[in-house]
Structure 1
Amino acid sequence: MLELATTLRTWAAEGRRVAVATLVAVDGSAPRAVGAALAVDDTGRVAGSISGGCVEADLVAECERVLAGGPACMCRYGVGDWLEPGLMCGGTIDVLISDVAVLDEPAWHQVERAAAGLDATLALGADGRPCTDPVVTLTVRRPRRLVVVGAVEFGVALCALAARAGFAVTVVDHRETFAAKERFPDATAVVVERAARWIAARNWSDDDAICVLGHDLAHDTPAILAALRGGAGYVGAMGSRTTHERRVEALAALGATTDELACLRSPIGLDLGGSAPEHTAVAIVAEILAVRHGATGLPLSRVPGPIHR
Structure 2
Amino acid sequence: MLDIAEELHRWFTEGRDLAVATVVAVEGSAPRPPGAALAVDRAGEVIGSVSGGCVEGAVHALCRQALEDGRTVRERFGHEGGGNGNDAEGDDGDPLAVGLTCGGVLDVLVVPVRAGDPHREVYEAAAALAAADRPTALARVVAGPAARYGGRALLLHPDGRHTGGLGGPPALDRTVAAGARAFLDAGRTGTLEAGERGARCGAPLTVLVETSLPPPRMIVFGAVDFAAALVRAGKLLGHHVTVCDARPVFTTRARFPEADEIVVDWPHRYLDRTRVDARTALCVLTHDPKFDVPLLCRALRLPLAYVGAMGSRRTHEDRLRRLREAGLTEGELSRLRSPIGLDLGARTPEETAVSIAAELVAVRRGGTGVPLTGTELLIHHEAAVRMG
Determine if the TM-score, normalized by the shorter chain, exceeds 0.5. Answer: yes
Equivalent pair of 2:244/2:251 in contact (CA under 8 Å): yes
In the TM superposition, what is the alpha-carbon distance from 1:268 to its structure 2 partner? 0.4
Aligned counterparts of 1:54 and 1:286: Cα–Cα separation in 2: 26
In the TM superposition, what is the alpha-carbon distance from 1:283 to its structure 2 partner? 0.9
1:58-73 equivalences under 5 Å are: 58-68=58-68, 70-73=70-73
Q: Tell me the equivalent position of 1:98.
A: 111
Of 232, 238, 243, which aligns to 1:171?
243
Aligned counterparts of 2:257 and 2:11: Cα–Cα separation in 1: 25
Q: Tell me the equivalent position of 2:33.
A: 33
Out of 259-268 and 177-186, give the one that drifted further: 177-186
Aligned counterparts of 2:77 and 2:217: Cα–Cα separation in 1: 36
Aligned counterparts of 1:85 and 1:33: Cα–Cα separation in 2: 19
Equivalent pair of 2:12/2:124 in contact (CA under 8 Å): no
Identity, in percent, stands at: 46
Of 136, 140, 143, which aligns to 1:120?
136
Of 85, 90, 97, which aligns to 2:98?
85
1:117 partner amino acid: D
Out of 140-149 and 82-91, give the one that drifted further: 82-91
Q: Tell me the equivalent position of 1:57.
A: 57
Q: Secondary structure at the residue paired with 2:301?
A: helix
Equivalent pair of 1:149/1:172 in contact (CA under 8 Å): yes
Of 190, 211, 222, which aligns to 1:139?
211
In the TM superposition, what is the alpha-carbon distance from 1:135 to its structure 2 partner? 4.7
In the TM superposition, what is the alpha-carbon distance from 1:281 to its structure 2 partner? 1.2
Q: Quick check: 1:110 aligned with 2:126? A: yes
1:206-285 equivalences under 5 Å are: 206-285=278-357
Structure-2 change in CA distance of 1:226 and 1:281 (3 Å): same
Equivalent pair of 1:55/1:87 in contact (CA under 8 Å): yes
1:12-23 equivalences under 5 Å are: 12-23=12-23
1:147-166 equivalences under 5 Å are: 147-166=219-238
What's the CA shift string for 1:271-290, capped at 9, x where partnerless?
A: 01222222111111111222
Structure-2 change in CA distance of 1:69 and 1:173 (3 Å): farther
1:109 partner amino acid: A
Query: Could you list the runs of 5+ residues in structure 2 that have no partner in the other structure?
Result: 83-95, 154-165, 167-172, 174-195, 197-205, 382-388
1:88 partner amino acid: T
In the TM superposition, what is the alpha-carbon distance from 1:43 to its structure 2 partner? 4.4
Equivalent pair of 1:203/1:230 in contact (CA under 8 Å): no
Equivalent pair of 1:200/1:230 in contact (CA under 8 Å): no
Structure-2 change in CA distance of 1:192 and 1:41 (3 Å): farther
In the TM superposition, what is the alpha-carbon distance from 1:217 to its structure 2 partner? 2.4
Q: Tell me the equivalent position of 2:267.
A: 195
Aligned counterparts of 2:257 and 2:67: Cα–Cα separation in 1: 38
After TM superposition, the score normalised by the length of structure 1 is 0.88
Structure-2 change in CA distance of 1:46 and 1:278 (3 Å): farther
In the TM superposition, what is the alpha-carbon distance from 1:17 to its structure 2 partner? 3.3
1:84 partner amino acid: A
Structure-2 change in CA distance of 1:182 and 1:11 (3 Å): farther
Aligned counterparts of 1:276 and 1:45: Cα–Cα separation in 2: 42
Aligned counterparts of 1:143 and 1:56: Cα–Cα separation in 2: 27
Structure-2 change in CA distance of 1:27 and 1:246 (3 Å): closer
After TM superposition, the score normalised by the length of structure 2 is 0.72
Size of the alignment, in residue pairs? 309
In the TM superposition, what is the alpha-carbon distance from 1:8 to its structure 2 partner? 1.0
Out of 74-83 and 161-170, give the one that drifted further: 74-83
List 4+ stretches of structure 1 deviating above 6 A: none
Aligned counterparts of 2:26 and 2:365: Cα–Cα separation in 1: 19
Equivalent pair of 2:70/2:112 in contact (CA under 8 Å): no
Q: Tell me the equivalent position of 1:3.
A: 3
Aligned counterparts of 2:53 and 2:120: Cα–Cα separation in 1: 31
**Structure with more helix by fraction:** 1
Structure-2 change in CA distance of 1:45 and 1:183 (3 Å): farther
Aligned counterparts of 1:269 and 1:276: Cα–Cα separation in 2: 13
In the TM superposition, what is the alpha-carbon distance from 1:115 to its structure 2 partner? 1.5
